[in-house]
Amino acid sequence: MSIAFGVSEPDSPRSPRKSVLIGPDGKVVASYDAVKPADHPAEVIADLDGMK
């Protein structure tokens, strides 16, 4: 799935620590590079709140 959304390279054995926020229409709403696990939930929640 990560390759389909452009997060990983097809030849890479693992996904980098990145994530994407997918909207209800299946389109990428936000992408996050260099994700820090301690901070990332707050980033996503803030973006979700901004979508309202």
pLDDT digits (tens, 9 = 90+) for 16-28: 677 889 888 888 8
Q: Helix or strand or coil: residue 49?
A: helix
Q: Give the number of other Cβ atoms within 10 Å of residue 17's Cβ.
A: 13
Angle at 24 between CA 42 and CA 11, to 5 degrees: 75
Yes or no: say if 8 and 2 are a contact pair by the CB < 8 Å rule.
yes
- Over range 18-42, report the average pLDDT: 88
How far apart are the C-alpha atoms of 6 and 39, rounded to whole Å? 22
Confidence of residue 31 (pLDDT cuts 50, 70, 90): confident
Please tell me the predicted confidence (pLDDT) of residue 40. 93
The pLDDT of residue 46 is above 80: yes
Domain boundaries, the chain: 1-52
